[in-house]
Amino acid sequence: MLISIKLSTSASFRAIEKIMMIVSSYLVTMNQTPAYSTILTWIQKIGYYKLMKPKEIADDWIIIIDESIKIGQDKLLVILGIRESKINFNRPLRYQDLTPLLERLRKSWTGESISKELIELKEEIGTIIYGVGDYGSNIKKGLRLASITHVYDITHKIATVIKSIYEKDKEYKSFTQNMAQMRTKLYQSEEAHIIPPSQRQKSRYQNIGIISAWGMKSLRHLSQKTTEEKTTINLKWVEEFEQFIQELNEINQVICKIQKILKYNGLSKDTVKECNQLLDEISNEKGIIFKERLRNYFTDQLELMPTSDKILCTSDIIESSFGKYKNYISDNPMAGITNLALCISAFTSNLDEFELKEALEKTRMSDIKNWTDENIGTTLLKKRREFFSDQKMERRII
């Protein structure tokens, strides 16, 4: 139960320990609550077990590849895999569908170093039909050098197209600048409830729906006679951007529908036909540019994989695993990347009783230590401890 709570929620290790202490006070059958460090160890063991478990050798592997950047210069390369014959194209991927294939930390990952890992991986698991990932130059080069077809993740592709259209657009810049000024002006006022959402710099072009939705709601409030006068005054500037907001909203509505189709059902001639019908609904000038570029993407990806009826074209699942891992270390972000990254592999466990029993009984702490030395190395947390420990020793000597 404790493992299930940890892998299925965002509760911290210490929070789970406290939760179980409360639960145990009501249950006579529970005599002792495991410490948070014990729960952490269990997660590491499950992750190690899943990662090191012998993989099927097959001719239809598909990999999802990405790297995560944390504190310092360390980058964690993660590769998850699934056999094409086992993909359920009636729903999005789940963690339990995937097999963890690689987790390794390096100061930097070049195309050559990624290629080396991929070539070794092919020797272990057999044929990799294609790899799904963003268009980072190192991942792109690594897949090419390893002779693995690169399918461009649809989420990143759409963000790239949106960026190319709006990054230098004067109206977009003016609208987002006005939003920022409004946030600053009203943040601590009585009108704080109407301030626009902030955009994360890294993913601002992946989330145009956030600002278009706020803009549409603001326009609706301005059209209502019941809206308070001070609210109307603070939102008045939005009317100047009505056409722009409508344009952005129209594009975003189509994006949401297209992403749902492709992330549930994969990329195929049939789903491309559906997506093209949706793209035909766009009539504004910027939308026409978006439409043309996305259609080119569909054509390019289908030509890459002529023998595949349906193509997996999303790496959202690996982005999600990075997000969950970062949440695990949110209480101590200065820890950097540690062997707790094994939780990414643990996410793929279906929590089968036999598998859990085998993972906890057969995985030794020395196994995790050896894996850490080989794949993680000296962590940022360890470096900090050693550095400040030396300072303490010097002060004592003085």
Write a three-state SS string for 262-305. Answer: HHHHCECHHHHHHHHHHHCCCCCHHHHHHHHHHHHHHHHHHHHC
40: closest CA among 19, 70, 68, 15?
15
Report the predicted TM-score, pTM, of the whole model to 2 decimal places.
0.86
Q: What is the pLDDT of residue 185?
A: 94
CA gap 171, 390 in Å, rounded? 55
Contact criterion met (CB below 8 Å) for 290 and 165: yes
Q: Which residues contact 145 (CB under 8 A, 6 or more apart)?
A: 111, 112, 115, 118
CA gap 261, 84 in Å, rounded? 18
Q: What is the pLDDT of residue 2?
A: 65
Q: What is the pLDDT of residue 125?
A: 98
Q: What is the pLDDT of residue 24?
A: 63
Per-residue pLDDT of the chain (398 residues; tens, 9 = 90+): 667 767 767 677 777 667 666 666 655 555 667 777 888 898 999 999 999 999 999 999 999 999 986 656 688 999 999 999 999 999 999 999 999 999 999 988 999 999 999 999 999 999 999 999 998 899 999 999 999 999 999 999 999 999 999 999 999 999 999 999 999 999 889 999 999 998 777 678 888 999 999 999 999 999 998 889 999 999 999 999 999 999 999 999 999 999 999 999 999 999 999 999 999 999 999 999 999 999 999 999 999 988 889 999 999 999 999 888 888 776 665 566 788 889 999 999 987 888 889 999 999 999 999 999 988 877 666 777 777 765 554 554 44
Taken in order of first residue, the domains within the chain and their CATH numbers are 2-43 (no CATH), 49-152+315-391 (3.30.420), 158-304 (no CATH)
Q: What is the pLDDT of residue 393?
A: 47
325: closest CA among 308, 345, 311, 303?
345
Q: What is the pLDDT of residue 391?
A: 54
Q: What is the pLDDT of residue 369?
A: 93
Q: What is the pLDDT of residue 333?
A: 58
